[in-house]
Amino acid sequence: MTSVVDYDPLLLLRQSIASGSAIIPTTSPDTSSSSTSSPETSLSQATHLHFTHPARVVIPIDAPTRFVSNDRPVDLRSIYFAWLNREVAIPEYNASATKLNEELAGTTTVHKFAFVERLDLITWLEGASEESEYIKPLAGDKDGAVHLGGAGGAAAHAQVAKASATAVSAAARAGRGTLDPRLAQIYNGERRMGDRNTVLRGIKPTDFSHVRKLAQPLMARKPSPAGGVPTTSSVPGSISSSTSLALNQKPQRRPDPIILLSPSASSLLRMSNVKSFLEGAHYVPPDHNSAISMLHISRVMKDIDPGRPMRFILVEGSEQFKPEYWNRVVAVFTTGQAWQFKNYKWRDAAELFRHVLGIYLGWRGEQPPDAVRGFGHRVMACSVEKWRDPTAPGADSSRWRDREVVEGIWKAIEGNMRAKGWRKDAAPTKLD
């Protein structure tokens, strides 16, 4: 059996997904060719995952990974199970996880991801994101990056290449390898690459503390507080502890803001049509049979961060919310029905819309419901042209107003975000 010490389960899973190669749950730890003919087993019976790319290797299915939830590493079985159920709604995913835990009969349990954790994991595994706040960096990546590009990615690729060569040589010594001899020769001739420290800086650490002394004359003197007593940072030749920390700490990643939609069947905006409306500025009727439980859209908020698009997470329910997620909610779409708020942090509508912007979308020419009008100015009422059959003459001529409505909604969301404390590299820690 090939040693799996040099393999990273998360990186192997991501590369296998990108290449479309087979990932086989199995009860055998054997990596020989005969293992590929064994039937695929269920996740409740499997003890290993058989990867075929970039090298044939078998990883224990209960192996811990670099994905951390609640300060605990998540096992490979839970990661792979979440990937297999990436397209199902959260209630169906939780039901499937409960059923699998019953099949495991208490020997172990499958971790149930919170909706933000699940979205972050799936986005990273698909290759749509190169960073994740829940994934610890590789051992050779000191910058904390979890992507495949750059020096950290080179080290990760070198690690997998080293493991591939180890697998080839071990299989050759065992007399049961199936790789082409020419491919084995290529693996053995690969150049071993070091991490970013050995390539760029060597193994000796460099002390840059003298730079602080050089920077002191250039530090702008801060104004003295009331009373005329200068602060520590305003005295020439000294640097405050906060400045010292700022020189050494890496800025935290800005979290993604969250928009809540109404799950009501009477709502004009649902998960199936909100992306085309808020991103494409074109309204189409919702598909009530859609099983989409979450998605994200991108939008440049010029007054907050004009240099890069901001990613928004859209969901219809708050059942999987952690308490801190409410600090990231920037808008709530509502139809005025009170049952929508029963699982919210603020169940009273007046209290909810004191903290979060409310938005109602209705048909042009029709009055909003009495409940929405009772919310007052804290709920923004918008209206779109009534939907007409696309085959009817001139059906699309009335849809030019959609963009005007969408721009008004985004302007209100951006203004509310700025007022609540959203900045280029920061988000509010508490909604006032």
Give the pLDDT score at 317. 85
Give the pLDDT score at 198. 55
The three-point CA angle 198-4-66 to 5° equals: 70
SS (HEC) of 73-103: EEEHHHHHHHHHCCCCCHHHHHHHHHHHHHH
Q: Which residues contact 164 (CB under 8 A, 6 or more apart)?
A: 54, 55, 187
Give the pLDDT score at 66. 92
Strands 379-384 and 357-363: parallel
Q: Which domains does the chain have, with CATH numbers?
A: 9-188 (no CATH), 258-420 (3.40.50.11990)
Q: Which residues contact 407 (CB under 8 A, 6 or more apart)?
A: 281
Decide: pTM greater than 0.95: no
120-171, pLDDT tens digit by residue? 898 889 887 778 888 988 776 544 343 433 334 444 444 444 444 444 344 4
* Alpha carbons 122 and 128: distance in angstroms, whole number: 9
* Alpha carbons 313 and 390: distance in angstroms, whole number: 30
Tell the residue number behind the tokens 């059906």, with chain if given: 395
* Alpha carbons 58 and 369: distance in angstroms, whole number: 60
What is the Cα Rg of the chain in Å? 27
Give the pLDDT score at 258. 93
In the numeric block, which tokens belong to residue 408? 């008004």
* Alpha carbons 255 and 203: distance in angstroms, whole number: 35
Give the pLDDT score at 183. 75
Average pLDDT, the chain: 78
Residue 179 pLDDT exceeds 80: no
Range 88-91 contact pairs with CB under 8 angstroms and sequence separation of 24 or more:
88/291, 88/293, 89/291, 89/292, 89/293, 90/115, 90/118, 90/293, 90/294, 90/317, 90/319, 90/320
Distances (CA, A) of 245 to 96, 237, 241, 242, 248: 46, 17, 6, 5, 5
241-283, pLDDT tens digit by residue? 444 444 455 556 788 999 999 999 889 999 888 999 999 888 9
Distances (CA, A) of 285 to 88, 265, 334: 22, 12, 17
How many C-alpha atoms does 163 have within 13 Å on its Cβ side?
A: 25
86-106, pLDDT tens digit by residue? 988 888 899 999 999 999 887
Span 215-239, mean pLDDT? 55
The residue with greater pLDDT, 382 or 147, is: 382
Range with the poorest average pLDDT among 3-12, 258-267, 300-309, 407-416 = 3-12
Give the pLDDT score at 52. 84
